[in-house]
Amino acid sequence: MATVAVNGAANAALLCVEMLAICDEALAEKLEAYRKADTQKTLDKNSAVEEKYNH
């Protein structure tokens, strides 16, 4: 059993896709690409915050 937060629709969707991707290689590849892009977006935002407040 898995749970997600109230108002956590995006996380619930990602959990669902992750489960479906177990049996679907194409979906697994798309999920991996999404996660890489999302990670980069987060790192870019972090860099912007660091630049703003640390310099």
Long-range CB contacts (within 8 A, 24+) of 14-21? none
Tell me the pLDDT band of 28, cut-offs 50, 70 and 90.
very high
Residue 8 has a pLDDT of: 84
Tell me the pLDDT band of 37, cut-offs 50, 70 and 90.
very high
Percent of the chain residues topping a pLDDT of 70: 98
Q: Say what the pTM is.
A: 0.78
The domain locations on the chain are: 24-55
Handedness of CA 31, 34, 40, 42 (dihedral sign): negative
Q: Specify whether the CB–CB gap between 18 and 31 falls below 8 A.
A: yes
Q: Of 2, 26, 22, which Cα lies nearest the Cα of 12? A: 2
